[in-house]
Amino acid sequence: MTYDELVEIIEPLMLPKKDKPVTEITLRRDDHEKSHKYDDVDIAKIAMPRGNVVKSGGRGGTEYKGTHPFHASRGGQNFSINPSKGVWHCFHHDCGGGWVELLAMKEGIISCGQKLNVDDRRKTIRRAYELGILEEEVIEAPDAEIQLDSDNVDEIPIEIPDGDVIELVAPPRTGKTHRVVQWLKQAGSGNYITHTHAVCEHAIKIAREIGMRGVVWVVGMNQPGACRHCLLYTSDAADDLLCVDLGGRRIIKKKNTEPAIE
């Protein structure tokens, strides 16, 4: 049997080839290059090598090599830094990093060769603000007037009131936080806005008790009255919990039934 005869036999059994769809990928970039403020820190202003510094250049920028700025060196060439890339390396401890790690060593938060954990990183960033290495950004918030419906009630309702945003106003120790957390569980998702860490701790404890999971606790560090040194205030109480939404364009005020003190 010839090849042509074989093809003639099997050709009717062959499935037609499907053309593969062409997938077009487009990358779009802003006209103006944007960078995070952390990227703008000049690592050379934090520390440079000491002693007999050797300067070398290449495609990766200028590199300076000499004695480590924070510990001794036997040969005087155990530390290199590349300000162009914003990185450094210690040959004695075989470690390196960026300006955050270098500042942490300079401020005594960690030693060379020690890994920078989350808490130490927060301390270092906080110190960077104190030293003026990082500057706080002030964002002008637009003025907006929101007209809210208002209801005066004898008791805080069990069910979530109607609306997209709810402001609950009630005297101290009347179960506000407990009820709001219950509302959040009913809603399934959302945000609880309050003014102190203590209230957040209390809300998370309640959320745990009623079986909520996945709570996220975020602090606006630059807001008036907030802790200005809290980069992100979290707690062990926040592990494995859930965050939820307070519905309703409405203000609910609980009547103060406590007798006035004259």
Kindly report, as residue ranges, where domains of CATH 3.90.580 are found in the chain: 38-131
Count other C-beta atoms under 10 Å from residue 100's C-beta: 20
- Give whichever of 39-48, 216-225, 252-261 has the largest mean pLDDT: 39-48
The pLDDT value recorded for residue 147 is 65
Higher pLDDT, 25 or 129: 129
Residue showing tokens 């952390």: 38
Higher pLDDT, 170 or 248: 170
User: Which of 14-18, 156-160, 202-206 is predicted least confidently?
Assistant: 14-18
* DSSP conformational letter for 20: P
Asked if residue 30 has pLDDT above 60, the reply is no
pTM over 0.85? The answer is no
Asked if residue 226 has pLDDT above 70, the reply is no
**Per-residue pLDDT tens over the stretch 139-171:** 676 666 666 677 777 888 888 888 777 778 888
pLDDT band at 219 (very low <50, low <70, confident <90, very high): low
**For strand 87-90 and strand 95-97, is the pairing parallel, antiparallel, or unpaired?**
antiparallel
The pLDDT value recorded for residue 82 is 94
- The two structure tokens encoding residue 169: 């106003």
Structural fold of domain 38-131: DNA Primase; Chain A (3.90.580)
SS percent in the chain: helix, strand, coil, step 5: 25, 15, 60
Counting residues of the chain whose pLDDT is more than 70, the rounded percentage is 68
* Separation between Cα atoms, residue 14 and residue 242, nearest integer Å: 56
The pLDDT value recorded for residue 1 is 66
* Runs of H (alpha helix) within the chain: 3-10, 99-106, 118-131, 176-187, 197-209
